[in-house]
């Protein structure tokens, strides 16, 4: 039993030397690099995950803002189209009005001109008729009026000669 | 929190399992003690008879149809030895290194000792020194106690003072495991350097979960932010104990019992003791010598207990590990012994075979249990060491 319960000097010495030597060698050449590598890898994985998260959030924001922009653009377009349509309608209406006005004016002036012409024509006709009557009367007076027949012939001739035809 | 709870649950289970195997060991110890005692008397009687007949007839002693003594058989197999016993009379000799006062360092192989089986073995070297490898615990004429398996030296009948630095079975196994660890972990470190940031392959892949387990489940929860300082020790100690325990379970290799050798575990426990107390902060020592929130009279009781605890905690680590691993070996050896006891030296073949079947079945179960224990004891030692380090370096301001 003594062999089990008594720490043997040689075992203690060898165990101390060997264990400490291995501990220091492993600390320098194994545990340091291994733990550093594990840490680095964990950090790079965590970094990658964070980055992915960040990018995804950014993408979400981006797509949301895209949506907004699209909505705004659509509204803008609708507004512009409406305005354009209104403007076009306005223009057409204006043009119609203007054309009508111009036509009315033209018609009015034409009517005026016609009235003036008619008046002038009537005045001319009156003057012509007067002149003609005077001429006829003159001729009648100048010729001898011997007979009725001659008179009648004369009137008829005069009438024939009249520019009324 | 849940992590801490799970650790606690594991600890409880361990305490229970450990307690159980401790009990078994105790029961068994009691048994072997009697047996050994009997044997001692018996052996002495036999020896007296022998001295009357012939003084030096060791061969005959061996040939003699000796009664099988389970206790001696078991102790012989779990105790450290100067050679590796494979089977029967086949031994692998190991170097014996003795520092003898007045004679200097003496080196020879353990195969130099003459004598087979039981009883003291002798080697008379050319320089005139007579070496004796004792079979039982003895007290020499110069009042020096030598344990069984120990070596004493005489010159012309005069006892010499011997310091034994031999590469014993446990030392050999320990050196083997340590060199294997050096090779393994340095090559793993190389593979990490070669592919930085890549997934581990091969051996690194196999051992990385354990390394991460120690760092994330044992060290970090117990120690906190000063964990980096203690990681090399915790990792080394964990893998050393784990691999030594596993080596002890390999059959036909001489039954290494490295972590069951008190000379090895005492070194590990001493390192835990030194690391704990050299890293102890103001808060740690303050709690030790002037526990806060305790009435003055109680302090007089508490402080000695706490101071005693400084030594007791690592000592318990040592005893727990040694006892658990030895107990596992003892149980397996006890079931092996049962076969011989029931076989009654080859005269009772039927009962021997019956027992053989039962024992083998039970030993298979025990081997599985021991595989678990091999891991658990390494885990418990590392976890408790980490908790002690955490206690010593814990900064209450951070809480």
Pick B89 or B264 by higher pLDDT. Answer: B264
Q: Is B87 helix (H, G, I), strand (E, B) or coil?
A: strand
Q: Which residue of A has its CA nearest to B98?
A: A10
User: Is the Cβ–Cβ distance between B349 and B343 less than 8 Å?
Assistant: yes
Residue linked to tokens 């379970």: B249
Question: Which residues lie below 8 Å from residue B318, measured CB to CB, with a gap of 6+?
Answer: B262, B265, B266, B268, B269
Q: Which of B131, B146, B164 is the last residue of a domain?
A: B164
What per-residue confidence (pLDDT) applies to A164? 63
Residue linked to tokens 């004679």: B103
**pLDDT band at B308, cuts 50/70/90?**
very high
- Both B150 and B220 in one domain: the answer is no
Q: What average pLDDT does this structure show over B204-215?
A: 91
- Both B209 and B357 in one domain: the answer is yes
What per-residue confidence (pLDDT) applies to B59? 38
Would you say the C-alpha torsion B379, B380, B381, B383 has a positive or negative sign? positive
Q: Is residue B7 part of a domain?
A: no
- Both B275 and B145 in one domain: the answer is no
A29-46: pLDDT as tens digits: 999 999 998 888 889 899
pLDDT at B88 over 70: yes
How far apart are alpha carbons B104 and A90 in whole angstroms? 125
What per-residue confidence (pLDDT) applies to B147? 83
Pick A39 or B119 by higher pLDDT. Answer: A39
The DSSP letter of residue B200 is P
Residues in chain B closer than 8 A to A34 (CB atoms) = 185, 188-189, 192, 211
How far apart are alpha carbons B84 and A162 in whole angstroms? 171
pLDDT at B41 over 80: no
- Both B300 and B333 in one domain: the answer is yes
Q: Which of B123, B143, B164 is the last residue of a domain?
A: B164
The closest alpha carbon to B177, from B166, B185, B189, belongs to B185
- Both B205 and B275 in one domain: the answer is yes
* Alpha-helical regions (H) of chain A: 2-5, 9-26, 32-142, 148-161
Question: For chain B, how many structural domains are there in total?
Answer: 2
The closest alpha carbon to B175, from A69, A22, A47, belongs to A22
* Residue A113 neighbours by CB distance under 10 Å: 10
* ipTM for the assembly: 0.79
pLDDT at B35 over 70: no
- Both B387 and B319 in one domain: the answer is yes
Q: Which two tokens stand for residue A99?
A: 């054309």
Could you tell me whether strands B129-133 and B151-155 are parallel, antiparallel, or unpaired per DSSP bridges? antiparallel
Cβ–Cβ gap B193/A33 under 8 Å: yes
Q: Which two tokens stand for residue B1?
A: 């929190």
Q: Is residue B34 part of a domain?
A: no
pLDDT at B111 over 50: yes
Residue B109 domain boundaries: 95-164
Among A148-162, B123-137, B187-201, the range scoring the smallest mean pLDDT is A148-162
Q: What average pLDDT does this structure show over B37-56?
A: 40
Interface test with A, best of B30, B192, B275, B327 (most A CBs within 10 A): B192
B326-356: pLDDT as tens digits: 999 999 989 988 888 888 777 788 888 888 8
B324 burial via Cβ count (<10 Å: 0-12, 13-18, 19+): buried
Cα A1 to Cα A72, B36, B84, B97: the distances in Å are 93, 9, 19, 23
- CB nearest to B192's CB, from A8, A14, A34: A34
Among A1-10, B149-158, B254-263, the range scoring the smallest mean pLDDT is A1-10
Q: B90 phi and psi, to 5 degrees?
A: -90, 115
What per-residue confidence (pLDDT) applies to B121? 86
B159-200: pLDDT as tens digits: 888 888 999 999 999 999 999 999 999 999 988 888 877 778
Cβ–Cβ gap A35/B228 under 8 Å: yes
- Both B217 and B100 in one domain: the answer is no
User: Is the Cβ–Cβ distance between B178 and A30 less than 8 Å?
Assistant: no
- Both B155 and B178 in one domain: the answer is no
What per-residue confidence (pLDDT) applies to B102? 83
What per-residue confidence (pLDDT) applies to B43? 40
What per-residue confidence (pLDDT) applies to B287? 85
What per-residue confidence (pLDDT) applies to B282? 87
Residues in chain A closer than 8 A to B197 (CB atoms) = 40-41, 44
B219-247: pLDDT as tens digits: 999 998 888 889 999 999 999 999 999 99
Cβ–Cβ gap A40/B148 under 8 Å: no
Residue linked to tokens 């290494």: B256
What per-residue confidence (pLDDT) applies to B46? 41
User: Is the Cβ–Cβ distance between B133 and B94 less than 8 Å?
Assistant: no
Cβ–Cβ gap B182/A25 under 8 Å: yes
Among A36-40, B14-18, B143-147, the range scoring the smallest mean pLDDT is B14-18
Question: What percent of chain A is modeled with pLDDT above 90?
Answer: 60
Pick B365 or B128 by higher pLDDT. Answer: B365
* Alpha-helical regions (H) of chain B: 2-53, 58-63, 70-78, 169-194, 202-213, 220-223, 227-248, 262-278, 282-289, 296-343, 349-393
- Both B181 and B102 in one domain: the answer is no
How far apart are alpha carbons A35 and B313 in whole angstroms? 28
- Both B152 and B196 in one domain: the answer is no
How far apart are alpha carbons B288 and B307 in whole angstroms? 7
What per-residue confidence (pLDDT) applies to B9? 46
Residues in chain A closer than 8 A to B139 (CB atoms) = none
pLDDT at A136 over 90: no
How far apart are alpha carbons B60 and B228 in whole angstroms? 61
- Both B133 and B178 in one domain: the answer is no
User: Is the Cβ–Cβ distance between B154 and B98 less than 8 Å?
Assistant: no
Q: Which two tokens stand for residue B133?
A: 């490898």
Q: Which of B164, B194, B220 is the last residue of a domain?
A: B164
């Amino acid at each position: 039993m003594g062999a089990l319960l008594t720490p043997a000097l040689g075992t203690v010495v060898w165990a101390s030397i060997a264990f400490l030597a291995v501990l220091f060698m492993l600390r320098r050449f194994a545990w340091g690099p291994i733990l550093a590598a594990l840490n680095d890898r964990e950090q790079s994985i965590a970094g990658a995950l964070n980055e992915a998260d960040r990018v995804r959030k950014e993408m979400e924001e981006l797509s949301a803002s895209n949506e907004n922009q699209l909505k705004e653009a659509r509204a803008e377009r609708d507004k512009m189209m409406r305005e354009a349509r209104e403007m076009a309608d306005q223009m057409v209406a204006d043009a119609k009005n203007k054309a009508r006005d111009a036509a009315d004016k033209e018609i009015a002036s034409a009517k005026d001109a016609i009235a003036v012409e008619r008046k002038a024509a009537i005045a001319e006709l009156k003057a012509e008729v007067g002149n003609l009557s005077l001429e006829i009367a003159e001729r009648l007076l100048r010729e001898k009026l011997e007979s009725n027949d001659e008179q009648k012939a004369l009137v008829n001739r005069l009438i024939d000669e009249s520019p009324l035809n | 929190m849940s992590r801490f709870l799970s650790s606690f649950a594991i600890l409880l289970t361990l305490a229970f399992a450990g307690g159980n195997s401790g009990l078994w060991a105790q029961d068994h110890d009691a048994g072997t003690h009697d047996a050994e005692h009997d044997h001692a008397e018996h052996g002495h009687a036999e020896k007296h008879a022998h001295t009357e007949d012939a003084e030096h007839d060791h061969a005959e002693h061996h040939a003699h149809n000796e009664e099988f003594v389970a206790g001696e058989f078991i102790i012989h197999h779990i105790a450290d030895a100067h050679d590796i016993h494979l089977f029967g009379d086949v031994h692998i000799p190991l170097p014996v290194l003795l520092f003898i006062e007045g004679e200097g360092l003496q080196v020879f192989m353990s195969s130099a000792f003459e004598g087979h089986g039981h009883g003291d073995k002798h080697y008379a070297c050319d320089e005139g020194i007579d070496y004796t490898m004792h079979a039982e615990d003895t007290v020499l004429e110069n009042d020096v106690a030598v344990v069984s398996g120990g070596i004493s030296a005489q010159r012309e009948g005069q006892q010499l003072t011997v310091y034994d630095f031999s590469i014993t079975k446990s030392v050999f196994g320990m050196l083997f495991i340590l060199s294997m660890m050096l090779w393994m972990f340095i090559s793993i470190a190389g593979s990490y350097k070669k592919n930085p940031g890549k997934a581990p392959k091969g051996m690194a892949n196999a051992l990385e979960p354990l390394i991460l387990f120690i760092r994330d489940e044992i060290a970090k929860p117990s120690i906190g932010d000063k964990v980096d300082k203690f990681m090399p020790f915790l990792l080394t100690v964990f893998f050393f104990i784990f691999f030594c325990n596993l080596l002890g379970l390999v059959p036909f290799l001489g039954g290494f019992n490295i972590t069951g050798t008190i000379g090895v575990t005492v070194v590990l426990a001493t390192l835990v003791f030194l690391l704990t107390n050299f890293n102890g902060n103001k808060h740690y020592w303050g709690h030790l010598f002037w526990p806060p929130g305790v009435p003055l009279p109680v302090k007089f009781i508490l402080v000695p207990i706490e101071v005693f605890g400084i030594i007791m905690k690592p000592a318990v680590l040592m005893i727990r590990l040694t006892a658990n691993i030895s107990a596992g070996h003892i149980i397996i050896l006890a079931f092996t012994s049962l076969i011989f006891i029931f076989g009654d030296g080859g005269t009772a073949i039927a009962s021997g075979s019956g027992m053989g079947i039962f024992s083998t079945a039970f030993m298979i179960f025990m081997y599985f249990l021991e595989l678990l224990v091999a891991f658990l004891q390494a885990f418990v030692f590392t976890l408790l060491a980490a908790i002690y380090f955490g206690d010593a370096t814990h900064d209450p301001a951070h809480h």
